[in-house]
Amino acid sequence: MPTKPAPVIAKVRVQYWLCALVLYAVSISVGLGVKWESPKVTPVVGISVFAVLYVLSQGIERLTEIILPFLDLLLGRSHSAKKRKREAIQMTNLIRRSNLLAAAGLLADDPAVPAVPTTPAAAKDAANEADHATTELQVISLALGFSVAFVFVSYFGYSIFNAIGYTGAARWVDLLFTAAAIAGGSAGLHELIGKLQKSKDADETAAA
Q: Torsion-angle region of residue 179: left (phi > 0), alpha (psi -120 to 50) or beta?
A: alpha
pLDDT of 177: 86
Cα diameter, the chain: 75
Taking only the tens place, the pLDDT of each residue in 47-79 is 566 677 777 888 888 888 899 888 888 888 767
Taking only the tens place, the pLDDT of each residue in 95-124 is 777 766 666 665 555 555 555 556 667 667
- Phi and psi angles of residue 194, each rounded to the nearest 5 degrees, phi first: -60, -45
pTM metric for this prediction? 0.70
